[in-house]
Amino acid sequence: MSKVKIRKAVIPAAGLGSRFLPATKAIPKEMIPIIDVPMIQYIVEEAVRSGIEDIILITARHKEAIENHFDLNYELEDSLDKRQKDELAQVSREIGRMCNLISIRQKVPSGLGHAVLCAAPVIGNEPFAVLLADDLIDSKVPCTRQLIDIFEEEAASVVGVMEVSRNDVSKYGIVGGKMVNTRLMQVDRLVEKPLAAEAPSRWAIPGRYVLSPTIFDCLRQTQPDRANEIQLTDGLQLLAKREKLFAYQFEGTRYDTGDRLGFIDATLAFALKRPALASEVKALMRRHLGDE
């Protein structure tokens, strides 16, 4: 398994985005921009920079804007060419050529595990990555690339984790197991949103995975929860009983862009990283804070 190239990534994007209403009444949440780049584009760019060739987008009704964004737009590009706006035309073309996008409908919202399972006919018997569209991870080496490297070293599935405070463990899937080194754990237990006193560690899964195809059989055997949803965490628990599963504490900063404060945090952080915007953004922040 370690010699198999990770060529495919699954990006679940079928949610309603209700936390961002009214903006998401007609616009997919994933298309809301961080400054001028849609959230979903950052996720796809991470996958591509990690060596991924095929993006399997798990989508739903009214999400066509995502597919259109990663397509070529001849009318727009021709108009920009005629107005000699070559840079903008090139930006549009590069997005359209970024990846091979395969779209699959999740017809019923039945949980993250079910969304991943929808990709099984396209993935086949290959290992693959999963990137959640709500989790933006800023890192020098793409987070998914870090996990692929661990997958190749250990010949086993791996989930990306970050250390959270004891008060925050109830917001995440938490892993437990035996430490291999300071950043790597062999997982034998996963608990979805545990109470602080019951959490096996403070290592939380924020939405990056590289998985063997065995996960599909595990998900098929996973019983729905009380909300009648199949949870990926439960499928991973079955996977850990069948074969090795690791958790790697990735290097990078994670932003929860599915949360309004996390979205604002990401927008400010990415604006401050742009030389053309940084000084003026700082001035705006000072003004709003009453420091000027």
| Domains, in order of start, for the chain | 8-258 (3.90.550.10), 259-292 (no CATH)
* Separation CA 147–CA 161 (nearest Å): 10
Q: Which two tokens stand for residue 185?
A: 């754990």
The pair of structure tokens assigned to 226 is 């009380």
Would you state the pLDDT for residue 74?
Answer: 67
pLDDT of 292 higher than 60:
no
Instruction: Say what the pLDDT of residue 3 is.
Output: 64
Instruction: Write out the E strands in the chain.
Output: 8-12, 33-34, 37-38, 54-59, 100-105, 128-131, 135-138, 157-163, 173-179, 184-192, 203-205, 208-211, 245-249, 253-256
The pLDDT, as a whole number, for residue 283 is 92
What residues contact residue 5 under an 8 Å CB cut-off, 6+ apart? 51
**Range from 3-12, 70-79, 116-125 that averages highest in pLDDT:** 116-125
Q: What is the pLDDT of residue 2?
A: 43
pLDDT at 67: 85
User: What are residue 246's phi and psi, to 5 degrees?
Assistant: -115, 160
**Maximum average pLDDT range among 7-21, 58-72, 157-171:** 157-171
Percent of the chain exceeding pLDDT 70 equals 93
Top mean pLDDT of 60-69, 82-91, 155-164 is at: 155-164
DSSP code string of 21-78: TTGGGTS-GGGSEETTEEHHHHHHHHHHHTT--EEEEEE-TT-HHHHHHTS--HHHHH
Burial classification of residue 71, based on how many CB atoms lie within 10 Å of its CB (0-12 exposed, 13-18 middle, 19 or more buried): exposed
Q: What is the pLDDT of residue 132?
A: 94
Rounded Cα distance, 171 and 7, in Å:
31
Of 31, 42, 39, 36, which is closest to residue 68 (Cα–Cα)?
A: 31
For 124-181, where are the alpha helices, taking DSSP H only? 143-154
